[in-house]
Amino acid sequence: MIFSRKKGDSRRQAGDGRADGSTTRDRSDAEQTPRKGPYDAAEAPSGVQLLDLGSLRIPAVPDVEVRVQADPEGVIQQVVLVYGDSALQLGVFAAPRTDGIWDEVREEIRQSLFNDGAAAQETDGEYGVELRARVRTPDGLTDLRFVGVDGPRWMVRGVYQGAAATDPAAAGPLAECLHGLVVDRGQEAKPVREPLPLRLPREVADQAAQQNGGEPAEEPSEV
């Protein structure tokens, strides 16, 4: 089952979760300092149109298409945002209450790429250290840029492809989606690095099941 959502029209300012898991912030600081996400659900701004995928809520940004691949039960395997010739694949994972895990995850990604014969380079980005690599695919060489954001008991991993992988300025609306992302971690205990559950909105899953008799859709539908 695959569906895609195109376009949106909400814009907002963005804000960080604190590394110690706290979601409170001095009001005067919040009023004076522009903020950007990903946000924890406890501190997310109100009045923003979001696509609710369970643990991830994605803001509606003009000209960004949300492509989601799910099984017949509506459990999501992949979330990809597309803008022009660039894409951003998103994942969200459980993390400890106090320590971030992006540094460790980034090193594991780098080692995995090295084992596959691809060199990876660390660079400074808007969220700290990123990882850039060029990998060989059936379609030829592909540039990738890995971004990690540690939040309270969660980590968001983004993988840019296309022009946005080599030029962060080209990410444009894709970066805006990342800035407005909301993570609903929930209170349930989970193993560190376990993917947080993602599901299609119920109305979308029900509609697809009725139209396809429980079988995966062959063509994307728009919501």
- The pLDDT score that the predictor gives to residue 89 is 98
User: Does the pTM exceed 0.85?
Assistant: no
Burial of 132 (0-12, 13-18, 19+ CB in 10 A): middle
Residue carrying the six token digits 């540039």:
143
Interstrand relation of 154-161 and 86-94 (parallel, antiparallel or unpaired): antiparallel
The C-alpha torsion from 205 through 206 and 207 to 211, rounded to 10°, is 100
Out of 25-29, 68-72, 191-195, 212-216, pick the least confident: 25-29
pLDDT of res. 215: 52
pLDDT of the residue at 221:
36
Which pLDDT score is estimated for 33? 36
Query: Lowest mean pLDDT: which of 52-56, 120-124, 136-140?
Result: 136-140
Cα 98 from chain centroid?
21
Token pair for 121: 């380079």
Q: Is residue 29 pLDDT above 90, yes or no?
A: no
> What pLDDT is attached to residue 110?
96
Cα 26 to chain centroid distance, Å, stands at: 27
Distance CA 154, CA 195 (A): 9
